Amino acid sequence: MSALYGTYARSGLAFERGEGMRLYDQHGREYLDFHSGVAVNALGHGDPHLVGALKAAADKVWHTANTFTIPEQERLARRLVDATFADAVFFTNSGAEALECAIKTARHHFFAKGQPDRYEIIAFTGSFHGRTLGTIAAAGNPDYLEGFGPPVPGFKHAHPGDLEAVKALITPQTCAILIEPVQGEGGATAMSNEFLQGLRALCDAHGMLLILDEVQCGFGRTGRFFAFEWAGITPDIVAVAKAIGGGFPLGACLARGEVAASMVPGTHGSTYGGNPLASAVGNAVLDRILAPGFIEHVEAMGQRLAWHLQQLAQKYPEQVLELRGKGLLAGIRIAPPVRDVVTRLRDDHGLLAMSAGDNVLRLLPPLIVTEADIEEAIGRIGAVFEAIGTGSTAAATAE
């Protein structure tokens, strides 16, 4: 009997070591990782550059506090600013905290401009922004709000893709629009360029801020550093986490200078955010992701994955209902229960994949994936579809 909270339906599987795309369990069995600890292990397992950076940092000062200067954190922020739209960065330990900072930054920006009533944010159904009280209210998923008292006020929700519905929700109180350019948990759903451009235009027309949650889709995963780049838009605030630390807990809120300007001493803080260990690893991750050719590799592998998924869809039309996602955040909406497919892939075929909303099989390989890995994964998924057979959806056991 575990002494842990029962918040996860955990598998008994425990991994002992990892190397690149592969993980090994306590019995030495090998698994191909198309899960990446939920899009975190962007550089796979045991990357020597990351391991070296963490070991070197461990020999120095582990922790001070954000009231002192942390040189590695300064350097990471400068590099993120130089590489992106942002002028200022606040570091956190997680995605939800990065979103909390994004929401507070947007609200405080208008407070400082003498508009304290302008705090409402328009967000979207099917989104996921984390598990804090603020972020469950922001996402508005009733399953995650139930039982936790009154939701934090100030969030309204529209259906993603429906620009008219967004327009209808705008009031003088609206301060921002918050969206994942590619919904992860919700079902690997990519927003169209036109929709994101439409949101940007609405924000411009109404003096609102555009906040993007790139915790899952950012940091290279779609074949661009940020997923919003595909739409050619510039956001005001972006929340990142997951891949930014490559497995070390780290997140960040990036903002344009004018937007971040009101976040003065006393408005926000974090004991650990961007501490020396996290920042050292963050810099090492950035070394790899910004290296010439890295993002181009991700884009190419995203295209190969999409091509192989199309072949799979043609071969198994009974099982594959729809292909979704962008780059290496790919989804297959399937007919058989996705939990059963995920379990079979893991236990019978040694492939780690994930589920997402809408009965979607979600593939999130480390960004170092090769086409040979992709072919291997697609082969294993095909084998599960073969085993399940046609028309036997009901026979697949629901967990």
Q: Please enumerate, by residue number, every residue annotated as part of a binding site for N(2)-acetyl-L-ornithine.
A: 131, 270
Q: How far is the CB of 393 from ligand PLP (least distance, A)?
A: 28
Query: Please, which of residues 128-187 interact with ligand PLP by CB under 6 A?
Result: 128-130, 180, 184-185
Q: Which stretch binds ligand PLP (CB under 6 A): 10-18, 94-102, 253-261, 329-337?
A: 94-102
Q: Please enumerate, by residue number, every residue annotated as part of a binding site for pyridoxal 5'-phosphate.
A: 95-96, 128, 213-216, 271
Q: Which of 36, 41, 94, 141 binds ligand PLP (CB under 6 A)?
A: 94
Residue (of 40, 161, 33, 127) closest to 357 by Cα position:
127
Burial call 11-45: b when 16+ CB within 10 Å, e when fewer? eeeebeebebbbbeeeeeeebbbbbbbebbbbbbb
The residue ranges of DSSP E strands in 125-236, in sequence order, are: 155-158, 174-179, 182-183, 189-190, 209-213
Q: Catalytic one among 90, 124, 128, 294?
A: 128
How many Cα atoms within 13 Å fall on the side-chain side of residue 40? 14
Q: How far is the CB of 131 from ligand PLP (least distance, A)?
A: 6
How many Cα atoms within 13 Å fall on the side-chain side of residue 242? 25
Q: Catalytic one among 242, 326, 358, 373?
A: 242
**181 CB neighbour count, 10 Å cutoff:** 29
Whether 294 is a known active-site residue: answer: no
**294-315 and 276-289 are packed helices; what angle lies between their axes, rounded to 10 degrees?**
70
Whether 90 is a known active-site residue: answer: no
The residue at minimum Cβ distance from ligand PLP is: 95
Q: How far is the CB of 96 from ligand PLP (least distance, A)?
A: 3
Q: Alpha-carbon dihedral of residues 35, 239, 252, 78, nearest 10 degrees?
A: 120
Reading the block at residue 78, the tokens are: 């400068």
Return the residue matching tokens 């922001």: 138
Residue (of 280, 212, 206, 268) closest to 244 by Cα position:
280
Q: Catalytic one among 33, 213, 340, 358?
A: 213
Task: Please list the residues that pair with 23 across neighbouring strands.
Answer: 18, 31
Q: How far is the CB of 180 from ligand PLP (least distance, A)?
A: 5
For ligand PLP (CB under 6 A), the number of binding residues is: 15
Query: Please, which of residues 311-370 interact with ligand PLP by CB under 6 A?
Result: none
Counting every residue, how long is the chain?
399
Verify binding: residue 216, ligand PLP, rule CB under 6 A. Answer: yes
Q: How far is the CB of 348 from ligand PLP (least distance, A)?
A: 28
Q: How far is the CB of 59 from ligand PLP (least distance, A)?
A: 27
Q: Which of 95, 282, 302, 325 binds ligand PLP (CB under 6 A)?
A: 95
Pairing of strands 174-179, 209-213: parallel
Whether 128 is a known active-site residue: answer: yes
- Of 245 and 276, which has the nearer Cβ to ligand PLP? 245
User: Residue 41's Cα: distance from chain center in Å?
Assistant: 12
Reading the block at residue 133, the tokens are: 């009280």
Q: Please enumerate, by residue number, every residue annotated as part of a binding site.
A: 95-96, 128, 131, 213-216, 270-271
Residues that bind ligand PLP (CB under 6 A): 94-96, 99, 128-130, 180, 184-185, 213, 215-216, 241-242
Residues with catalytic roles:
128, 213, 242
